Amino acid sequence: MADKRTVLVCSCEKTMPLDADAIGRGCRGAELQTANQLCRAEIERFRAAVAGGGALTVGCTQEAPLFSEVAEDAAADIAFANVRETAGWSADAANAGPKMAALLAVAAEPVPDIPFVPLSSEGVALIYGTDERAVEAARLLAEHLDITVLIWRPKALPAPRVTEFPVVKGTIRSAKGYLGAFEITVDDYAAPAPSSRGELSFGASRDGAVSRCDLVLDLSGGAPLFSAPELRDGYLRADPGDPAAVLRAVLKARDLVGSFDKPRYITFTADLCAHSRSRIVGCHRCLDLCPAGAITPAGDHVAIDPQVCAGCGQCAAACPTGAAAYALPPADVLMRKLRVLLAAYREAGGTKPVVLLHDEAHGTELIDALARYGDGLPANVLPLAVNEVTQVGLEAVAAAFAYGASALRFLLRAKPRHDVAGLRKTVALAEPVLRGLGFGGDRVATIETDDPDALGAALRALAPLAPALRPASFMPAGGKRDVLRLALRELHRASPAPTDIVPLPDGAPFGTVELNVEGCTLCLACVSACPTGALTADTERPMLRFTEDACVQCGLCQATCPEKVITLKAQIDFRAATAAARVLKEEEPFACIRCHKPFGVKSTIERVAAKLEGKHWMFKGSARRLDVIKMCEDCRVAVMAEVDFDPYGAPRPLPRTTDDYLREREEKQRGGDS
Question: Phi first, then psi: what are they for 147, rounded to 5°?
Answer: -100, 140
Positive/negative CA dihedral, 484, 490, 493, 494: negative
Same domain, 349 and 463: yes
* Direct distance between the N- and C-terminal alpha carbons of the chain, in angstroms, rounded to an integer: 101
pTM, full prediction = 0.88
For a pLDDT cut of 70, what percent of the chain falls above it?
Answer: 96
pLDDT in tens, 230-254: 999 999 999 999 999 999 999 999 9
The verdict on residue 612 lying in a domain is no
Q: What is the mean pLDDT of residues 645-668?
A: 75
Does 350 lie in the same domain as 314?
no
Whether residue 337 is found in the same domain as residue 467: yes
Cα separation, 290 vs 228, in Å, equals 10
Q: 209 and 270: one domain?
A: no
Confirm if 270 and 295 have CB atoms less than 8 A apart: no
Look up the CATH number of the domain holding residue 552: 3.30.70.3270
Give the type of residue at 476.
Answer: P
| Per-residue pLDDT tens digits for 398-430 | 999 999 999 999 999 999 999 999 999 999 999
Q: CA-to-CA distance for 103 and 112, rounded, in angstroms?
A: 19
- CB burial of 181-217 (b: ≥16 within 10 Å; e: otherwise) equals bbebbbeebbbbeeeeeeebebeebeeebebebbbbb
Helix (H, G, I), strand (E, B) or coil at 385: strand
In 3-state terms, what secondary structure has residue 221?
Answer: coil
Q: Max Cα separation, the chain? A: 120
Look at residue 444 in the predicted model and tell me its pLDDT. Answer: 98
Residue 591 lies inside a defined structural domain of this protein:
no
Q: What does the pLDDT read at residue 590?
A: 86
| CA torsion angle 141 147 152 154 (round to 10) | 80
State pLDDT tens for residues 48-104. Answer: 999 988 899 999 999 999 999 999 888 889 999 999 999 999 999 999 999 999 999
350 and 443 inside one domain: yes
- CB of 56 within 8 A of CB of 47? no
Task: Say yes or no to pLDDT of 2 above 60.
Answer: no
Given 459, 494, 529, which residue is the final one in a domain?
494
- Read off the pLDDT of residues 551-573 as tens digits, 9 standing for 90 and up: 999 999 999 999 999 999 999 99
Give the separation between CA 7 and CA 108, rounded to whole angstroms: 10
Residue 65 lies in a domain: yes
Q: Are residues 274 and 381 in the same domain?
A: no
Domain that holds residue 528: 511-586
Report the sign of the C-alpha dihedral through residues 387, 393, 395, 397, in that order.
Answer: positive
Same-domain check for residues 342 and 488: yes
Query: Does residue 555 sit in helix, strand or coil?
Result: coil
In a domain? residue 212: yes
* 191, amino acid identity: A
Q: Is residue 666 part of a domain?
A: no
